[in-house]
Amino acid sequence: MTKKIRKNTQHIIEITAVTTKGFGIGHIDGFLIFVDGGLPDDQLQIHIVKVKARYGYGKIIDIIKPSPSRIKSPCAVSDKCGGCQWEHCEYNAQLKFKKQIVIDALEKIGGITQNGIVQDVIGMATPQRYRNKSIFPVVSKENENISDSLMCTSFVIGMYAARSHRIVEVADCNIQHSAHVPILAKVSEYMQQNKITPYNETTHTGIMRHIMIRVGFSTNEIMVVLVTNMQKQKLLPHEETLIEMLSSVGATTVLVNSNQAKGNVILGEDFRLLSGSGYIHDNIGSVVYQISPPSFFQVNPIQTKMLYDIALKQANIEENGEEIVLDAHVGAGGVALYVAKNKKIKQVIGVDIVQAAIDDAKKNAALNGIENAQFICGAAEEIIPKLVSTNECDLPLKTCTPNIVFLDPPRKGCETILLNTLIEAKIKRIIYISCDPATLARDIKKLTDGGYKLIVAQPVDMFPMTGKVEVSCLLEI
């Protein structure tokens, strides 16, 4: 009989696996325990911090026997910050763990037997400084109960602690592009000089909520968005000085975003341009992308090229000018423009629910001289059923039924109505790109139950030092 595990008790545990959220997995008398920071083959003394009916959570008290994959973290706050989970894990081991995560999800959720379907994870030569987008919350030190640092400021700029709204003060981050370091220093200096108060989410007072920074790796263009708890038309003090300060450390465009809503949504709908064009550019291969503040763009441009090359190869597009390709979650142009730029095809159709992203996709098509791409704003599960029906299609084509469909949905995966539409239309080839192996496996099961066969799953490490992994899967009818 399983011994009941209680909160605030201590136990010895062996870690056997890991999750995408960075937890180590182990068992105590058959009872499942998730351990923050645990790695396979760790033997740990843990303190039980939470117990549910079928599982519990533990905190490491002592490492009795370290995993062979365990290394000294190069990050001073990696045990506190929620941005990374695996700075203490050797990189090649991370890649092996991620492959196993994908295999486990496809087997346990998708009902897919491995048989060589899941390939080795494609990693990075230098798995640091890869993120082109960073968002830093700004909070009061009094609220966070953090003592003053050398700068003696009344606020903290940092990152959220794991599974918390507590802030860990961060001046530099190993996985972010280094451009954020002087930007944060200048914003901090500006706030001190002008007595700009940090936002308090409890009282809904204060001005500065977040600092968002986007960087074009190939262009060195830098966008800074200051998210404030102010009305759109209200000005910050001495904005010309702010522009000069940020321009002096490389910012090419600066915007203020107004977000007076309560809750956790980062960006409001209203942007006010202070300097520059309001967007930046970056290249993926030979394709130039114009990126506005709210548009989705992959955060790791180095690995994005790898991912798009794999997806393009999986699509196996014939250069006969007859292919119709659909990108169901196109963002600012995504893989759709990459396909249209590299292959002579009849038509590329991109769909996305964010109007700003669709606007960017259209601009990007023009920027790259692409004339065979069209973009539609709307939810994929609403738009695509109409597109594959010749009676309702309002595009210039006589038929909109694609030969090839790219799916790259948010973490929650695809809506059932979208998957059913693809099954009923018997789309010959689907390339499903996902950053969540669990929802990917769930949706693949629906597609395979509907007659599709999973040919290959190629993981790409878009998020080193975290448990996340991107996967490009080829399915054929």
For β-strands 208-215 and 429-434, DSSP reports them as unpaired
Residue 393 known to be catalytic? no
**Quick check: 249 and 213 in contact, CB under 8 A?**
no
Question: Of 89, 173, 400, 435, which residue is the catalytic one?
Answer: 435
**Quick check: 37 and 63 in contact, CB under 8 A?**
no
Cβ-based neighbour number of residue 407 at 10 Å: 24
User: What is the sign of the dihedral through the CA atoms of 375, 376, 382 and 387?
Assistant: negative
**Quick check: 233 and 193 in contact, CB under 8 A?**
no
d(CA 318, CA 173): 43
**CB proximity list for 9: less than 8 A, separation 6 or greater:** 47, 48
| Alpha-carbon distance values, 263 to 230, 293, 378 (Å) | 15, 20, 25
Q: Is 243 exposed, middle or buried (0-12, 13-18, 19+ CB in 10 A)?
A: middle
**Quick check: 139 and 167 in contact, CB under 8 A?**
yes
What ranges make up the beta strands (E) of 312-469? 324-327, 347-352, 373-377, 404-407, 429-434, 453-460
Sheet holding 347-352, edge to edge: 373-377, 347-352, 324-327, 404-407, 429-434, 470-476, 453-460
d(CA 433, CA 437): 10
What ranges make up the beta strands (E) of 19-170? 23-28, 31-36, 43-51, 55-65, 133-140, 155-160, 167-169
d(CA 88, CA 83): 13
Cβ-based neighbour number of residue 111 at 10 Å: 12
**Quick check: 216 and 276 in contact, CB under 8 A?**
no
Strand partners, 472: 433, 458
Q: Could you give the residue numbers annotated as active site? A: 435
